[in-house]
A and B are shown apart, each in its own frame.
Chain A
Amino acid sequence: MELLLEEKHRAVRQSVRRFCDRELRPIAAQIDQECRFPWEVVEKMGKLGYFGIQVPKALGGAGLDSVSYAIVIEEISRVSAAIGLCITVHNSVAVYPILSFGSKEQIQKWVPPLARGEKIGAFCLTEPNAGSDAGGIEATAHVDGEDYIVNANKVFVTNGGIADICLIFCRTDPSAGARGISVVVAERGTNGFVVGDLEDLCGMRANPVCSIRLYDCRIPVSNLLATKGMGMKIGLAALDTGRMGIAAQAVGIAQAAFEEAIRYTKQRHQFGVPIERHQAIQTMIADMATQLDASRLLVYRAAALKDKKLPFSKESAMAKLFASEAATYVTDLAVQIHGGYGYSKAYAVERYYRDARVTRIYEGTSEIHRMVIAKSVLKE
């Protein structure tokens, strides 16, 4: 695995791991239980460049490649998946679309504070009646003078409770179907911009996931990203990168569960020997290790393709599908190895198990990813 990485990537991993083990690990279980977003750590992450991993230096970012990006997300998620989620969503589906589709003025205005972590981004696509079928969104934006009047009900917004800059997917042309969808950038604090209550989720509890509603919210027409009707294209491009981040997050969760499981198999004795000596446990360890390595390889491949500016959409879908399924499998076995203790909040694997589950759901379900992959394969 390490053979595929450059020294730079190793340095990125070492640096992020040291920071997260020191700053985030001592509070990771607590912030999960308290549903608390740890600003005290996140502010430090901002100073270290975690909020602008691939943003060019001239715009306040770190200017790193996609492989580094995957490693950063993996390492943060190894300690706290909820914070890994904050960082990946911010970088991949908030900052990246502005950087790729925004005008020069929009980039200059929004990207530097986002890249420095002074502002936090969110991606608002999902609605109560539109998830996998993103083309079915009901949010609307119609022009009134210099402004759009936006009405939207966006749910399950990652970073929703803290986001300053939100990409809102809405219909600018109700008669044009999926081609009538556009992205406008809404800033927190605008009249009519309402942040809903925190979702009481199974996992990722330290991330302030909530709904964001816009009631007759006036947003300047100049906040339209790219051109009218580009919404689906922006969304799909963002999700190509985003799903690589979620795949990396799944790898981080699985890695954490795997490490805990290995530790426990050496520590726990049954039938007079450490349980690592039992073949039934060894079978689980072998399967976990293999699933984990395969996931990581798929993630790094997708990232390396992106860095080489080669097509990576199918590969990032494969990485997301496989790594998220593997993470639920690996965390499940980690709980199994821990027996009754694994079902207790006193042991970290309980949190990993809960956190892993959603990776198969958000930023495209496993089922949607299979559709994406099949479509791509059959077209080849």
Chain B
Amino acid sequence: MHIIVCIKSVVTEAPIGKIVRTANNSALNPFDRPAIETALKLKENHGGTVTVLSMGPPTAEAILREALAMGANRAMLLCDPAFAGADTLATSTVLCAAVAYLKPFDLLLFGTRTSDSDTGQVGPQTAVLLDLPIVTGIHKTTFTPDCLIVERESDGFQETYEVNFPAALTIDQTAAVPRDPGLEGIAAAFDEMPVETISIEQLNLDSARTGDAGSPTRVLSMKPVRKNRSCQWIEGTPVKQADSLVRQLVDKGLIG
């Protein structure tokens, strides 16, 4: 079984103006860790290989090494000036081409969202571009030789699907507790394993479809939101304080 996991190097600090990515303000998207873990568990229990894939600047190599340290077999960085400034469509276009480049595969995994731009679009969009079936927000996967049984929750219902290979899934955070990369894994990831860098030419893509040029989205402005906090003292006995607190929270519609 060949599992491809698409991961992202996210910005850990809210940017003021244009984002400049450095090693110090980038990290592996925490929502991608359960997807990596799910892939590694499937590999350990049923055999196969795990390839991690990311589109990003050269600094994104660090997160691919981290995935290698966790136990992935192969890492590929899609890195080209022509990929810069991509929205989710342009990102999905590049990932789609890279997945085609990595064929054959059985499963294509994503996190459900990212901790920086948080659109949740790249997984489903890439699956559509690849004409793959996709199930999102997976809590549990059960492997059978012919198919994968996956469970998701939506609107208070649990849905169970049988998915044939190849398929795409976005993995919910509750699906797996991601492992820590051990020191031996880190040593191997940096001393022994390559991260392949792939450019636009190798993917045979038209630069009009990638990066800023291929992005219909235009962000008009981005600024941090200031929340005004007010502090209120509630007087009285503990019971009265609790009553008052609950009533105020209900009145504000925060609890029901």
Contacts and interface: CB of A to CB of B under 8 A. Distances in A.
A and B from one complex = yes
Interface of A: 2, 6-8, 10-12, 14-15, 18-19, 47-50, 53, 57, 61-64, 68, 72
Interface of B: 23-24, 27, 61-62, 65-66, 69, 180-184, 186-191
Q: Which 4 A-B pairs have the closest CB atoms?
A: A49-B183, A62-B183, A8-B190, A62-B184
B182 A10 contact: no
Contact of B182 (A8, A48, A68): A48
A6 B65 CA distance: 13
A314 B34 CA distance: 47
Contacts of B23: 2, 7, 10
Contact of A12 (B24, B27, B183): B183
15 contacts: A7-B23, A8-B191, A15-B180, A15-B181, A18-B180, A19-B180, A48-B180, A50-B183, A57-B184, A57-B187, A61-B184, A62-B186, A63-B187, A68-B187, A72-B183
Contact of B65 (A11, A47, A57, A63): A11
A292 B253 CA distance: 49
A18 B190 CA distance: 19
A78 B67 CA distance: 25
Given A8-B187, A10-B62, A57-B187, A49 B182 contact: yes
A11 B70 CA distance: 12
B108 to A, nearest CB: 26
A47 B182 contact: yes
B184 A12 contact: no
Grouping DSSP codes into helix (H, G, I), strand (E, B) and loop, the A interface class, with mixed when no group exceeds half, is helix
Nearest to B59: A7
B66 A11 contact: yes
Contacts of A49: 182-184
Contacts of B184: 49, 57, 61-63
Nearest to A5: B23
A53 B186 CA distance: 11
Contact of A7 (B27, B181, B183, B190): B190
Contacts of A47: 182
A19 B179 CA distance: 10
Contacts of B191: 8, 63
Contact of B69 (A11, A18, A57): A11
A378 to B, nearest CB: 39
Nearest to B61: A7
A13 to B, nearest CB: 10
A6 B191 CA distance: 11
Contacts of A19: 180
Contact of B186 (A12, A18, A61): A12
A65 B160 CA distance: 48
B190 A62 contact: no
Contacts of B69: 11, 15
Contact of B187 (A7, A14, A18, A64): A64
A15 to B, nearest CB: 5
A141 B80 CA distance: 68
A329 to B, nearest CB: 27
A252 to B, nearest CB: 17
Looking at B61, B181, B188, B191, the one whose CB has the most chain A CB atoms below 10 A away is B181
Given A49-B182, A62-B186, 5 more contacts: A7-B62, A11-B189, A62-B184, A64-B186, A64-B187
A29 to B, nearest CB: 23
A96 to B, nearest CB: 16
Contacts of B190: 6-8, 11
